[in-house]
Amino acid sequence: MKPNVLVIAGHDPSGGAGIHADIEAIHSLGGLPATLITGLTVQNSQNVRGFELVNVDLLERQAEALLDDMNFQAVKIGMTGSPAIIRFIARLLDQLPGVPVVLDPVLAAEAGGSLGAQSVPEALLEHLFPRATVATPNLPEAERLAGVTGVQAAGEVLLRSGCPAVLITGTHDQTEAVHNHLFSAEGVGDWSWPRLPGSFHGSGCTLASACAARLAHGIALEEALTEAQDYVYRTLQNAWQAGRGQLIPDRRG
């Protein structure tokens, strides 16, 4: 059976990141992506110029319509944009007990440009980290959320937020290979990938959505994370220059 994945994320008109990336990745991995769009961004493959958030009342009505109709096997959260939207998502997650939740705590685009209010990190830590199954920050996001520097220190702080597993990705690091570190109650997991040349638009969104799609199929967390990283690596190997900025991953898998 094709599992339903509830995606709560922002729209990137370039088609590289955000909800486009989520839909493509989940569809490619055999799930149905149902979407609640938190905000519309103004951006291209080069940078973010701004964003506008969707009214919480509209999001609530959309969520109610979906929950009246569908069961969900996983949830993926990307750009949230504001504490009010974060509190709405927390209320929604409380109506989906036992459903795995992948939280990509988006604060800014990889190419630069904020994607949320200043107070988003604090609200994410208070309301969404304790409700998530796994969080997938990149290193700059993890350091900003944790208020410390270094992958080990950030991982330890974020684990204490109540999220049982935190995967910190190393795409933004200066290391020769990309190292992704998993912090969880069971210990630490590590994955390494050859660093591909170029920079990519929507790689974090693709990873979190791929993980949600695998969890929705009932696959255990570490295996879901391994398969999601394999998938992302393939999408990046086949990425292409659609605009003048970052490369766009080919999410056909």
CB nearer to ligand PLP: pick between 201 and 251: 201
Window 60-79: residues binding ligand PLP (CB under 6 A): 78-79
Q: How far is the CB of 67 from ligand PLP (least distance, A)?
A: 23
Sequence-distant (6+) residues with CB within 8 A of 111 are 45, 46, 47, 48, 199, 201, 245, 246
Alpha carbons 69 and 241: distance in angstroms, whole number: 39
Residue 10 binds to ligand PLP (criterion: CB under 6 A): yes
First to last CA, the chain: 20
Q: With H, G, I as helix, E, B as strand and everything else as coil, classify residue 237.
A: helix
8 A C-beta contact, residue 209 and residue 21: yes
Window 84-103: residues binding ligand PLP (CB under 6 A): none
Question: What DSSP state is assigned to residue 230?
Answer: H
Residue 109 binds to ligand PLP (criterion: CB under 6 A): yes
Residue 12 binds to ligand PLP (criterion: CB under 6 A): yes
Angle at 161 (CA atoms; ends 18, 137), nearest 5 degrees: 30
Q: How far is the CB of 156 from ligand PLP (least distance, A)?
A: 23
Q: How far does CA 72 lie from the centroid of its chain?
A: 17
CB nearer to ligand PLP: pick between 203 and 229: 203
CB nearer to ligand PLP: pick between 71 and 237: 237
Among 17, 59, 128, 225, binds ligand PLP (CB under 6 A): 17
Residue-wise burial string across 68-99, b where 16 or more C-beta atoms lie within 10 A, e elsewhere: eeeebbbbbbbbbbbbebbbbbeebbeebeeb
CB nearer to ligand PLP: pick between 38 and 73: 38
> Positive or negative, the Cα torsion across 196, 200, 203, 204?
positive
Residue 205 binds to ligand PLP (criterion: CB under 6 A): yes
Q: How far is the CB of 222 from ligand PLP (least distance, A)?
A: 22
Alpha carbons 222 and 220: distance in angstroms, whole number: 6
Q: How many chain residues bind ligand PLP (CB under 6 A)?
A: 18
Among 106, 124, 178, 232, binds ligand PLP (CB under 6 A): 106
CB nearer to ligand PLP: pick between 67 and 199: 199
Q: How far is the CB of 219 from ligand PLP (least distance, A)?
A: 22
Choices 7-15, 116-124, 173-181, 225-233; region in contact with ligand PLP by CB under 6 A? 7-15
Q: How far is the CB of 218 from ligand PLP (least distance, A)?
A: 25
CA trace torsion 249, 199, 150, 12 (10° rounding): -60
Q: How far is the CB of 232 from ligand PLP (least distance, A)?
A: 10
- By the criterion CB under 6 A, which residues form the site for ligand PLP? 9-10, 12, 17-18, 41, 43, 78-79, 106, 109-110, 115, 201-205
